[in-house]
Structure 1
Amino acid sequence: MRRYERTLVAVAFATTVVAGTTGWASGSTQQPVTGPPPGSAAWVADTSLGRPLPDPAVATPVEVAAFFRSLDGREERELVRRHPLVVGNLDGVPVRLRYEANSLAIRGTSYERLTGRRILAFDPRGRGQVAEVYGDVERARQVSVIVPGSDIDAATYDRDRANDPYGTPAAMAKSLRAATGGATAVVVWTGYTTPVGVGVDAATGDLAEAGATRLARFTQGLTATGAPRPALFCHSYGSVVCGLAADEVDARDIVVFASPGMRARHVKALGTDARVWAAKDPSDWISKVPYVRFAGLGHGNDPTAPSFGARRVPAERAEGHTGYFAPGTDSLRAFAAIAEGDVR
Structure 2
Amino acid sequence: MGRFRRFLTTAVLTTLLVGGTAGWASASGESAPSGPLPGTASWLADDSLGRELPDPATATPAEVAAFFAGLSGAQRQRLVEDHPTVVGNLDGAPVHLRYAANASAGDRVLAYDPRGRGTIAQVAGDLEHAAHVSVIVPGSDIDASAFDRTARRAADLQAAAGDDTAVIAWAGYTTPSGIGPDLATGRLAEAGAERLARFTAGLDAAGLPDPALFCHSYGSVVCGLAADDTDASDIVVMGSPGMRAADVGALGTDAHVWAAKSPHDWIGRVPNVEFLGLGHGADPTSPGFGATVLPADNVPAHDAYFAPGTSTLTAFAAIADGARS
- Counterpart CA distance in 1 for 2:253 and 2:162 is 29
Residue 245 (str. 1) matches residue 216 (str. 2): no
RMSD across aligned C-alpha pairs, in angstroms?
A: 1.8
Deviation at 1:268, TM superposition (A): 0.8
Counterpart for residue 332 of structure 1: 313
Residue 196 (str. 1) matches residue 143 (str. 2): no
Secondary structure of the structure 1 residue equivalent to 2:153: helix
Letter matched to residue 324 of structure 1: Y
Spell out the pairing of 1:72-111 with structure 2 (5 A cutoff).
72-103=72-103, 106=104
Counterpart for residue 43 of structure 1: 43
- Counterpart CA distance in 2 for 1:206 and 1:321 is 23
Deviation at 1:6, TM superposition (A): 3.4
Counterpart for residue 146 of structure 2: 156
Counterpart for residue 213 of structure 1: 194
Counterpart for residue 60 of structure 1: 60
Spell out the pairing of 1:16-27 with structure 2 (5 A cutoff).
16-18=16-18, 26-27=26-27
| Equivalent residues of 1:19, 1:26 under 8 A apart | no
Secondary structure of the structure 1 residue equivalent to 2:38: coil
Secondary structure of the structure 2 residue equivalent to 1:246: helix
- Percent identical pairs in the alignment equals 63
Change (3 A) 1:155 1:16: closer
Counterpart for residue 121 of structure 1: 111
- Counterpart CA distance in 2 for 1:155 and 1:61 is 27
Deviations along 1:140-193, one digit per CA (max 9) or x if unpaired, are: 1101111111111111111xxxxxxxxx21111111111123331111011111
Deviation at 1:101, TM superposition (A): 0.8
Letter matched to residue 312 of structure 2: S
| Equivalent residues of 1:11, 1:290 under 8 A apart | no
Counterpart for residue 109 of structure 1: none
Change (3 A) 1:142 1:222: same
Counterpart for residue 298 of structure 2: 317
- Counterpart CA distance in 1 for 2:289 and 2:56 is 37
Deviation at 1:4, TM superposition (A): 4.7
Counterpart for residue 275 of structure 1: 256
Deviations along 1:291-333, one digit per CA (max 9) or x if unpaired, are: 1111221111111111111111111111210111111111111
Deviation at 1:36, TM superposition (A): 4.6
| Equivalent residues of 2:112, 2:120 under 8 A apart | yes
| Equivalent residues of 2:19, 2:183 under 8 A apart | no
- Counterpart CA distance in 2 for 1:283 and 1:292 is 21
- Equivalent pairs counted in the alignment come to 323
- Counterpart CA distance in 2 for 1:15 and 1:238 is 16
Secondary structure of the structure 2 residue equivalent to 1:138: helix
- Counterpart CA distance in 2 for 1:135 and 1:13 is 39
- Counterpart CA distance in 2 for 1:129 and 1:8 is 34
> Could you list the runs of 5+ residues in structure 2 that have no partner in the other structure?
none
Secondary structure of the structure 2 residue equivalent to 1:185: strand
Deviations along 1:182-209, one digit per CA (max 9) or x if unpaired, are: 3311110111111111111111111111
Residue 181 (str. 1) matches residue 171 (str. 2): no
Letter matched to residue 285 of structure 1: W
Deviation at 1:11, TM superposition (A): 3.5
Task: Choose which of 124, 130, 147 in structure 2 pairs with 1:134.
Answer: 124
| Equivalent residues of 2:307, 2:313 under 8 A apart | yes
Letter matched to residue 174 of structure 2: T
Letter matched to residue 333 of structure 1: T
Residue 231 (str. 1) matches residue 231 (str. 2): no
Change (3 A) 1:259 1:35: farther
> Could you list the runs of 5+ residues in structure 1 that have no partner in the other structure?
107-113, 159-167
Secondary structure of the structure 2 residue equivalent to 1:308: coil
Letter matched to residue 208 of structure 1: A
| TM-score of the superposed pair, with normalisation by structure 1 | 0.89
